[in-house]
Amino acid sequence: MNSGPSTGRPVELRHLRAFLAVADELNVTRAAARLRLTQPAVSRTLAALEQHLGIRLVDRSTHHLALTAEGVAFRDKAAVAVAAFDAALDSEGLRRWPLRLGHAWSAFGPYTTPLLRAWQERHPQTPLELLRIDDRTAGLTRGDVDAAVLRGPVDTPGLVAEALFTEARVAAVAADGPLAGRASLTLADLADGPVVLNTVSGITTVELWPPHARPRGTVTVGNTDDWLAVIAAGRGSGVSTASTAGTHPHSGVVYLPLDDAPGVPVLLVRRDGPGHPALPELTALAREIVARGPARSAGGHGGT
């Protein structure tokens, strides 16, 4: 679709609602049922919207529907437009629009509980949904969330990141292994055996080690749960951030300080463009919670 925007019939609210339903369900049949329309009607409405915009919003080339990059970008704009229209008729509607915050692991570390509690107190009409998604951007580029807590550098085009604090790295070793009794470890200590790498959402790669002292081998996994299970089984050691010890305790894993590894920035990331109207409030509250420090923010409930 590259003929440019159509100058025919204008886009109506029903076009946006149909697209948002398809974007949420990723299935035309379920979207039609949700809208109480027929499947052909939804397909025609979506096609008309794409024709008007002159871009493809939904990839139909596979057995499962998926949003194109343009579809992901347009989803936010369409959602804001529909919400603004609904809010003009129902002022309570916009405030009840959930704000979805993604993370791949550990969320905000020790600041997670203070953030959730403070948000509930100050914005009770806008639920803050914390979603763990095993993805490099915690579902942000797919449009599954409105913002995400990410660790490490973010170089994905179209994303805007704000650094909130820096976490120390820790080593994760088998509780019954030879390293478990040490007070702390170095990268060289871990390089003597295999290192377990989460290649889907983790930030540790072999580049963390100097070129002349890389680990003897690696074991790759796709999520935090498998990462912990492999380490507990003694198949390798791992490297993560300090908050992982509090949010992901495991009876078979011991977390130890890693003396010579650089810290990891913890970022609040959003898409560059229109988004959920409560995002500025989330950013401001996150800054405030971090500025208090873990002890004061946690209020006796730190480590989550």
108 and 48, same domain (yes or no) = no
Q: Label residue 232 by pLDDT band (50, 70, 90).
A: very high
Question: Is residue 5 very low, low, confident or very high in pLDDT (cuts 50, 70, 90)?
Answer: low
Confidence of residue 301 (pLDDT cuts 50, 70, 90): very low
In a domain, 5, yes or no: no
Whether 148 and 219 share a structural domain: no
Query: Which DSSP category does 124 fall into?
Result: T
Q: Is 147 left (phi over 0), alpha (psi -120 to 50) or beta?
A: beta
Question: Which domain CATH number covers 140?
Answer: 3.40.190.10
Domain presence at residue 252: yes
Asked if 223 contacts 198 with a C-beta cutoff of 8 angstroms, the reply is yes
- Specify the pTM: 0.66
Q: Which two tokens stand for residue 86?
A: 């609904």
The verdict on residue 32 lying in a domain is yes
**Integer CA distances (angstroms), 266 to 69, 114, 261, in order:** 25, 16, 16
Does 287 lie in the same domain as 174? no
The reply to whether 239 falls in a domain is yes
Q: How many domains does the chain have?
A: 3
Asked whether residue 283 falls in the same domain as residue 137, the answer is: yes
Catalogue the long-range contacts made by 57-66 (C-beta closer than 8 Å, 24 or more residues apart): 57/19, 58/22, 58/23, 64/26, 65/22, 65/26, 65/27, 65/28, 66/26
CA 32, CA 41: separation in Å to the nearest integer?
A: 8
Last residue of one domain, picked from the residues 50, 65, 91? 91
Residue type, 238: G
- Judge if 104 and 248 occupy the same domain: no
Identify the domain boundary among 91, 125, 142: 91
The count of residues in the chain is: 304
Q: What letter would DSSP give residue 11?
A: P
Q: What pLDDT digit, counting tens, does each position of 75-88 carry? A: 888 887 887 777 66
Predicted pLDDT of residue 85: 78
Q: pLDDT value at position 82? A: 83
Residues 87 and 106 in one domain: no
Dist. CA 77–CA 120, nearest whole Å = 26
Domain end point (choices 36, 70, 91) = 91
Distances (CA, A) of 247 to 71, 106, 219, 244, 252: 34, 6, 23, 5, 15
Looking at the structure, tell me whether residues 174 and 251 fall in a common domain: yes
3-class secondary structure, 213:
helix
With respect to residue 50, please indicate whether it lies within any of the assigned structural domains: yes
pLDDT of 79 reads 84
pLDDT above 70 covers what percent of the chain?
90
Query: Would you say residue 304 lies in a domain?
Result: no
3-class SS of residue 303: coil
**Per-residue pLDDT, 302:** 33
Rounded-to-integer distance, Cα 300 and Cα 122, Å: 20
> What does residue 174 show for φ and ψ, rounded to 5 degrees?
-65, 135
DSSP 152-184: S----TTEEEEEEEEE-EEEEEETTSTTTT-S-
Q: What is the DSSP letter of 272?
A: S
| pLDDT score recorded for residue 294 | 72
Segments forming the whole domain that contains residue 68? 13-91
Question: Could you tell me the two tokens for 179?
Answer: 């390293």
CB atoms within 10 A of CB 64: 8
Distance (Å, whole) CA 71 – CA 236: 41
**What CATH number did the domain enclosing 49 receive?**
1.10.10.10
pLDDT at 64: 77
Query: Are 137 and 285 found together in one domain?
Result: yes
User: Quick one: 268 and 160 in the same domain?
Assistant: yes
Q: Are strands 99-103 and 66-67 parallel, antiparallel or unpaired?
A: unpaired
Residue 220 has φ and ψ, to the nearest 5°, of -105, 140
Tokens representing residue 260 in the block: 């010579």
Roughly what angle, to the nearest 10 degrees, separates helices 69-89 and 13-25? 120
Helix (H) or strand (E) holding 287: helix 279-292
Does some domain include residue 37?
A: yes
What SS3 state is found at 85? Answer: helix
Task: Answer yes or no: do 175 and 251 share one domain.
Answer: yes
Within-domain flag for 1: no
Instruction: Tell me, yes or no, whether 152 and 286 share the same domain.
Output: yes
Please tell me the least confidently modeled range out of 16-20, 74-78, 268-272: 74-78
Same domain? For 121 and 185 the reply is no
Does the structure show a pLDDT above 70 at 36? Answer: yes
